[in-house]
A and B are shown apart, each in its own frame.
Chain A
Amino acid sequence: MTTSRTKQPGSETAAIPLAARPSLLASPGIRKLGLAVLGWTIACVIFFPIFWMVLTGFKTEAAAIADPSLIFSPTLESYQAVQDRSGYARYALNSVAVAFGSTLLALVIAIPSAYSMAFLPTKRTKGTLLWMLSTKMLPSVGVLVPIYLIFRDVGLLDTRTGLIIVYTLMNLPIVVWMLYTFFKDMPKDILEAGRMDGASTLQEVLFLLMPLTLPGIASTGLLSVILSWNEAFWSLNLTSSNAAPLTAYIASFSSPEGLFWAKLSAASTMAIAPILVLGWMTQKQMVRGLTFGAVK
């Protein structure tokens, strides 16, 4: 029936083939199956490099460079080797310290700023916010030289403190913006009711604003952690051995003598696993934060 209709050419208007389409949908089972196959195929193709990396981490070095194969006897020797030989733990510790340190610092600075911008706006608030946002677009490479020189002079090169400062500054605009977006969504009435009930500004923030926007604050924090964790430009340029986080450690595998795929994979898997999980958990809120509320 479908075919006989769609075969009629020419004289028909465009509306006819469109109208005929619903009959294609008449077999929802097949359509759903097709969608599932297509969706899963694409998802698997996109995910494949990550999957392969995780898999390779459980192979021996020999198996890793052999012809690709799903069948092998899994081993933890690469993980063992990464731990023992290269001091993976130190890099990981640096990553954790820097990512969480900078996030905490950024939140401490950003919560009061976002509060005042969201609830006590002045004529210039919008302009200030946009200006802050525009600093985010300043390419880091543009200020690499001055920051490098300053850090060298004050002895912050290759220190966690230095990296924390840079990451805090790097993420602050986005953190303030995200918090602003979340705070803006909170009904003003509730804070006013609190004020009528006698809450001071600090009490307002601690007892009302923070508990009520906790999901938003948490996802802002997580985004900041993710961005800091994955940041490669500053970590590669400002650290060498003492404060180098995982990004720098992984990058060291790019040198030809470091071509140990299984170990690279094991180290990478450990480096991305926590962030991947965080990302999955917070994807929805992250979209809002990343797009400054333009997409909800």
Chain B
Amino acid sequence: MTTKTTLIETPAGPAKAMVLNMGPQHPSTHGVLRVVLELDGEIVLSARPEIGYLHTGIEKSCESKTYSQCITLTDRIDYLAPLSNNLGFCLAAEKLIGIEVPKRAQYIRVLLTELTRITSHLVWLGTHAIDLGAMTVFLYSFREREEIMKIYEYVSGQRMMTSYFRIGGLALEPPPDWLDRVRRVMDALPGHIDEYEDLLTQNRIWMARTKGVGCLSAEDAIAIGASGPLLRGSGVAYDVRKAFPYSSYDEFDFNVQTQTAGDCFARYQVRVAEIRESIKIVRQAMEKVTPDGPFRAEAPGIIPPSREEMKTSIEGLIYHFKIFTEGFAPPPGEVYQAIESPRGELGVFMASDGSAKPYRVKFRAPSFVNLQSLPKLCEGRLIADVVACIGTTDIVLGEVDR
């Protein structure tokens, strides 16, 4: 790759700017992002993100797997919000096939994806804080995240790679007392968020490090196609959950959090407020989830029959066998389904050629799109601001590279 080095004026004549490779092995590029910085002293002249170090070929792999098998791959796209990816993929597949998911399963999905949003924002808060030197917040937020991870584990058997949402509903009936656990965590969480805010929000150093740093105007944000907290921090109230409701989000009462400043502090405020909004949604979902009812749709040949049916009826056994050996074939067609993942608009495009395996799956990854804002955020600023800017764009490299 050829790079034209910027020339800078010095008292001794023009000189080449120092090129600094930040990453792919660097403590605060959040994985394996490489940013090529051109520096004049501490000032960043240009910043160019280089991606591809975590390319796993997930989209391509999906083409050789049945629709159900793809779900386990989606966990690994944005590994901080596996359930959001599951949801996006399942909704797209359901749209392609034309299945209506039972309300109870939809509410459980909403509840769990909002928990995912909370864990993802907690990880973001912790890592962003440690990037700016406030190490304690990191450990506090991971402590709370752990409690929510325990809920995942209780419900799905897995802490991170849950694969809990399946086409047509959920993988399993959740354990009977799981809502009590959720309630316990949700009762404790607001107090902990106050703790983080006590440590950060009014902290003079924190404000100095984030206010006015990494400004992104609403026009620029829209122009690059940014979404999620990055867009809302710039004052655009766009949220897929409100704009194009899915999975019964229209039945929930919540606000889209926005800030107008468009700097790192605004994005921090948006995310912290979103954690509180998510707690609100989780509480509403807990009211709506009934103790019993179907947890997946009835669609013979597409959705596996219940365990009992499989063991007792011949049709059940045949369907079960066929689904798990050769999958199911949706009608030919193309769908696009967007959801609001913690990082922004996660779109899933899916094309079917009528076979049991998708012809093409494409994820419109919010991290990938939001990463484009990085040069705009940090050019002309100091090295320390690059770290803050990478932090508040909240990228997950697994999702950027897929």
A binds B: no
